[in-house]
Structure 1
Amino acid sequence: MYEPIRAKSVHSTMAGTPHDFPHRSREEELDIQLAGHLAALLAVTDELRVAAPSADLDTAAERLAGEVARLRGGRTPARASATTTGREPNAAALHRRAHA
């Protein structure tokens, strides 16, 4: 399934010296990706809190927000307010979105 890279990367020669652009480690890239997934889950959780208020959802949202902030170096994630208006949210649809 996985075939190792056998040739030198063309990207390193295109950029000139290797110090021309910032490099991130695999761990940093995975942290960025995880923060994005958790932020999406937080957005759905906030919408679900409006549709079906619950202390458990409040706790989960706070924990998610804390993890996203930690992964993003202390930057707090954008949050949906509890007073969001508009169309009536469907709790079952939000659950499906959260699982997706």
Structure 2
Amino acid sequence: MSALIYCPFPDRETALAVGGQLVDEKLVACINVGGSISAIFAWNAEKGEGEEVAALLKTDAGLLDAAIERLDCLHPYDTPAILGWPCHASAGTQEWLAGLSDGGKSDRS
């Protein structure tokens, strides 16, 4: 089964750097980094707002917990919002992401 991870970052460069490291470490196969998003949030009993960039990371469900744990370590926020969940995917996408867990035997060209 495949998995997705959603995580906002303070800026595009940070998202790409962290995502690139996770790809290099074979914990995720891909990161998609979007444009600027506006955030309104409650934190420490106060309302705040700011700009972030959203990222969606693709991985194999068997690596989901390890990918989230590593992302938490690499992320610059003290307490980043990291949400991950298993999901259904097309056969080709499942094969590609399964390549992370099987040492690259299913790598996509």
TM-score by length of 1: 0.35
Which of the pair has the greater relative contact order for Cα pairs under 8 Å at 6+ separation? 2
The structure in which a higher percent of residues are strand is 2
Bigger Rg, which one: 1
The structure in which a higher percent of residues are helix is 1
